[in-house]
Amino acid sequence: MESPTAKRRLVLVLVVAAILAAILAAFWYFRVCCQPLPRVPVSTPAISVPEGVRIKVEVLNSTTVRGLARHATMVLRDAGFDVVRYATDDTRGDSTRVFARSGRIDWAQSVAKALGGGVVEARPDSSRYLDVTVLIGADWRPPAKPFYP
C-alpha cells in the first residue's frame, strides 16, 4: 500500500508536469503559430502634380453609388491635387469624364491618370474658378488598398 504522503507527491509531480506542459504549449503556440504577418509597404502614389503648381479640381458623382465622389477625392488628394469641392451630380453617366476647365488639357490628363482612366475633354469655363471637373461614372473602380487585419 502506498502512503498518503506518496500519493500527494505523485499528484504534486503530475500537477507540476501538467503546468510545465501547458506553459511549453503556450510558448510554442505564440512563438510558432502567432507570428505577426510581415508588413507590406504601402506604395505612395506617384505625385501627378508638378512642383509649385496648384491644380484645383471639382469631383462630382454621377452614379447612384454613394460615396464615390468622396473616395475619388481622397485618391486625388493623395496624388497631390487640390480638390476644392465634391458632390453628387444630377446627371447619370456610365463612363468617367474629366473636363479641362482652364484650358490645360495636360492637367486634365494627369487627373484622369491618377484616377486610373477617364475620357478627357476640353470644356473651358472661366466662371467656375476651377482647373478640372471630374464626373465619376459607373465604370470607375477605386484603387485597391492593402489589407491589414
pLDDT given at position 135: 95
pLDDT tens digit sequence for 12-55: 999 999 999 999 888 877 776 665 555 555 555 566 677 888 99
pLDDT in tens, the chain (149 residues): 567 788 888 889 999 999 999 998 888 777 766 655 555 555 555 666 778 889 999 999 999 989 899 999 999 998 899 999 999 988 888 899 999 999 899 999 999 999 988 999 998 888 878 999 999 999 988 877 665 55
pLDDT given at position 45: 56
pLDDT given at position 44: 52
Structural contact between residues 81 and 111, judged by C-beta atoms closer than 8 angstroms: yes
Amino acid present at 123: R
CA–CA separation, 80 and 96 (whole Å): 20
Handedness of CA 75, 78, 81, 83 (dihedral sign): positive
pLDDT given at position 51: 82
pLDDT given at position 87: 94
